[in-house]
């Protein structure tokens, strides 16, 4: 098979993304972040099966959209790589994907009454919707809730539609973005927004961003993405004792 090496800067950023998302509490032993291959859009980059906080450049593998590992050799791969592949196939605009179980988001995935919506300008990307993926609709009511094949990945991508964020019932969420730095930003601020919204709902009658506010706020705040990226990268480096 003919494999092109990705840009080493992209690989470095993907390693940093793994470490940032662990350090910020979005990923723990589970969850993963991927990037579309910069030289071959039909492939994506994702770590081998391991805890995200421990990923280094040598752990990054290539996959096809249907989840086939291309250079894993005898290394184990993530069971849920299909989340990533199916989205890269369905959404040519998406360049990076995070799947997480971040703790304030899960309650929104299981409540039949609440809907995740942007309460502040940092989470304008939620204005495009936060649809729910109910895996029972595809897998029946006796599944293990995992996106363990391309059919389930495809169903998840269909639930995501054109949004930037999809809730996964009893499981967590998946976030997408046009760049790796933005997807890290969105995964962090989805968690922040969920926590803020839970508190606002307790206080009563939250005033959400209008659709136009959400779009405008997204454009403005996401243009500043280098600032949190630099801060979070430094914090993760310090925590690792680097």
Q: Which residues bind a copy of itself (CB under 8 A)?
A: 28-30, 49-51, 53-54, 79, 101, 103-104, 106-114, 118-122, 124, 141-146, 169-172, 192, 195-196, 198-210, 212-213, 215-217, 219-221, 224, 227-228, 230-232, 234, 238, 241
Q: Which two tokens stand for residue 169?
A: 């019932």
Asked if 102 contacts 172 with a C-beta cutoff of 8 angstroms, the reply is yes
Sign of CA dihedral 233, 13, 156, 93: positive
Specify the residue, 88 or 133, whose C-beta has the smaller distance to a copy of itself. Answer: 133
CA-closest candidate to residue 82, choices 92, 102, 70, 68: 68
> Can you give the C-alpha Rg of the chain in angstroms?
17
CB of 187 to a copy of itself, least distance (A): 15
Q: How far is the CB of 146 from a copy of itself (least distance, A)?
A: 6
Question: Considering beta carbons, is residue 91 or 117 the nearer one to a copy of itself?
Answer: 117
CB 16 within 8 A of CB 52: no
Q: Which is nearer to a copy of itself, 163 or 198 (CB)?
A: 198
- Buried b vs exposed e over 126-151: b needs ≥16 C-beta within 10 Å? bbbbbbbbebeebbeeeeeeebbebe
**At closest approach, how far in Å is the CB of 4 from a copy of itself?**
30
Helix (H) or strand (E) holding 165: strand 165-168
- Shortest Å distance, C-beta 40 to a copy of itself: 29
C-beta closer to a copy of itself: residue 41 or 206 = 206
Q: Name the CA dihedral angle for 221, 115, 103, 172, rounded to a multiple of 10 degrees.
A: -100
Given the residues 80, 134, 205, 213, the one annotated as active site: 80
For residues 121 and 221, is the Cβ–Cβ distance under 8 A? yes
Judged by CB, which is closer to a copy of itself: 42, or 224?
Answer: 224
Residues 203, 221, 175, 226, CA torsion sign: negative
80 is catalytic: yes
* Cβ–Cβ under 8 Å, residues 59 and 48: yes
In the complex, the smallest distance separating the C-beta of residue 25 from a copy of itself, rounded to whole angstroms, is 12
Active site residues: 80
């Amino acid at each position: 098979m003919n494999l092109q090496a990705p840009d080493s800067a992209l690989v470095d950023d993907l390693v940093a993304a793994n470490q940032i998302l662990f350090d910020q509490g979005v990923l723990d032993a589970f969850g993963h972040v991927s990037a579309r291959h910069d030289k071959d859009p039909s492939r994506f980059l994702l770590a081998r099966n391991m805890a995200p906080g421990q990923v280094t450049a040598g752990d990054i593998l290539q996959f096809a959209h249907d989840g086939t590992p291309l250079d894993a050799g005898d290394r184990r791969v993530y069971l849920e790589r299909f989340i990533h592949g199916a989205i890269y196939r369905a959404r040519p605009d998406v360049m990076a994907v995070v799947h997480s179980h971040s703790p304030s988001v899960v309650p929104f995935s299981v409540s039949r009454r609440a809907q995740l919506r942007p309460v502040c300008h940092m989470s304008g990307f939620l204005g495009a919707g936060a649809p729910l993926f109910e895996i029972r609709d595809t897998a029946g009511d006796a599944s293990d809730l995992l996106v363990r094949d391309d059919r389930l990945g495809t169903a998840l991508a269909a639930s995501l539609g054109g949004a930037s964020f999809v809730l996964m019932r009893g499981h967590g969420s998946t976030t997408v973005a046009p760049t790796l730095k933005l997807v890290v930003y969105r995964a962090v601020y989805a968690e922040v927004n969920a926590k803020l919204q839970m508190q606002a709902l307790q206080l009563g009658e939250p005033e959400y961003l209008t659709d136009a506010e959400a779009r405008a706020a997204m454009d403005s705040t996401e243009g500043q993405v280098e600032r949190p990226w630099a801060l979070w990268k430094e914090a993760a480096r310090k925590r690792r004792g680097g």
